[in-house]
Amino acid sequence: MVTLKNKQKNHPLSEYIKRLQTGEALLADSPENVLEVVGILKSYGVVLDAYSKNLIYIAENQFLVFFPFFKYFNGEITWQKLLRHWWHDRINFEYAEYCMKAMMWHGGGGLDAYLDTKEFQQRAQAVIKAKFANNPLVMGLNQLFPDFLIEQLRVSSYYSGLGQFWRVMADIFLNLSDRYDRGEIQTIPQVVDHIKAGLVADALRPITYAVKINKKVYDIIPKSLGLTFLADTALPYVEAVFFRGTPFLGTVSYNAQAYQIPPDQARFQYGALYADPLPIGGAGIPPTLLMQDMRHYLPEYLHEIYRRSPRGEDDLRVQICMTFQKSMFCVTTAAILGLMPYPADTQEPSEQKANQIYLEKWMDRFTTSRLVDVNS
């Protein structure tokens, strides 16, 4: 008979199961790791703040616009901003859209389920009729292809949902940096506790979406629907972006006969927790855009560490990516602990067994991840 204790020892990542059971994190605790994680999350928080504002602006002001040339300008179009945009001296909002499309493609959660209901279709048709009441060409197009405009509003709903999710996360990360500066955060478990507390505090925060047409407000995702931050945006985001992701162009063959991409989306392992940092900087690698954005907002204490590395700033994006993965394992730890069936310190055998099974399922998914690498 295999006991619970023996089974734990047999798991290839049993060390990390024990860490979680004893109040530690997936990332080892050290002053260097704390500095790196807090520093990168401060930079990430600034970038997420910008991403969030732009996604919500697009959802509320660029919905059903066929050619949204100025969607990244947040309604402030000037020659100076246009020149900076063309020169790529700007935030790369394309990465935010990449994450949004990954969420929409992989689905999951109440938002995904709602967008396939008749209620959503009815609300979408009301918005379409109001938006194009005096445009017989578009209304005729809508008659010929009834799913086309509805699909555009599904996309807009994900713009809004992800924007609202990142609004919360940006505040959590920036508050973490402030607490670190005040000396309140000194260990990795404290980092995890801060993130977990933020997730729990906003777990039931409503996810809603409404647009205004001719001074009338149309609810696309009404509050009465009951969609919430944690279940309907946070968890689908973790699944889609942390774990599954999408295959990066140029790193694998899209040829079906090459069998380099799993035919089942559930088997995708291209997320942030699996990605090899070395290709960062190459064309067609979406995280490159995020690393480029974060490099502009690195706190000086973190930037100095990168400068002292063997290659200095020559591989800065790769170094940022490696640190970013460390931080994402901290965020993942917070999610795992927050969703654990029973308290980690429970003494009830049946509850311990349930927690053990729960953690082993997570560890099964981490077997091919970068977990061991970020701790080496």
* CA-atom Rg of the chain in angstroms: 22
Cβ neighbours around 95 below 10 Å, total: 19
Give 78-86 contacts, CB < 8 A, sequence gap 24+: none
* CA 183/CA 180 separation, integer angstroms: 5
pTM of the model: 0.93
CA torsion 107→199→360→102, rounded to 10°?
A: 20
* CA 114/CA 198 separation, integer angstroms: 26
Cβ neighbours around 317 below 10 Å, total: 22
Say what the pLDDT of residue 7 is. Answer: 47
Cβ neighbours around 345 below 10 Å, total: 10
Say what the pLDDT of residue 244 is. Answer: 94
DSSP β-bridge partners for residue 211: 218
Say what the pLDDT of residue 3 is. Answer: 45
Tokens of 129: 């009729």
Tokens of 310: 């063997």
Identity at 34, one-letter amino acid code: V
Give yes or no for a contact between 342 and 348, defined as CB atoms under 8 angstroms apart: yes
* CA 4/CA 7 separation, integer angstroms: 5
Q: What is the pLDDT along the chain (376 residues), one digit of tens a residue?
A: 344 444 445 788 889 999 999 989 999 999 999 999 999 999 999 999 999 999 999 999 999 999 999 999 999 999 999 998 888 889 999 999 999 999 999 999 999 999 999 999 999 999 999 999 999 999 999 999 999 999 999 999 999 999 999 999 999 999 999 999 999 999 999 999 999 999 999 999 999 999 999 999 999 999 999 999 999 999 999 999 999 999 988 888 888 888 899 988 889 999 999 999 988 877 778 999 999 999 999 999 999 999 998 887 888 999 999 999 999 999 999 999 999 999 988 899 999 999 999 999 999 999 999 999 999 8
DSSP-derived 3-state class of residue 247: coil
Give yes or no for a contact between 291 and 317, defined as CB atoms under 8 angstroms apart: yes
Identity at 239, one-letter amino acid code: E
Give yes or no for a contact between 46 and 335, defined as CB atoms under 8 angstroms apart: no
* CA 155/CA 220 separation, integer angstroms: 12
* CA 44/CA 370 separation, integer angstroms: 20
Token pair 């933020």 in the structure block, residue: 198
- H or E segment at 329? helix 316-339
Q: How would you label 204-215 residue by residue, b for 16+ Cβ within 10 Å and e otherwise?
A: ebebbbbbebee
- Rounded to 5 degrees, what are φ and ψ at 252? -140, 160
Say what the pLDDT of residue 9 is. Answer: 56
Q: How far is CA 43 from the centre of its chain?
A: 15
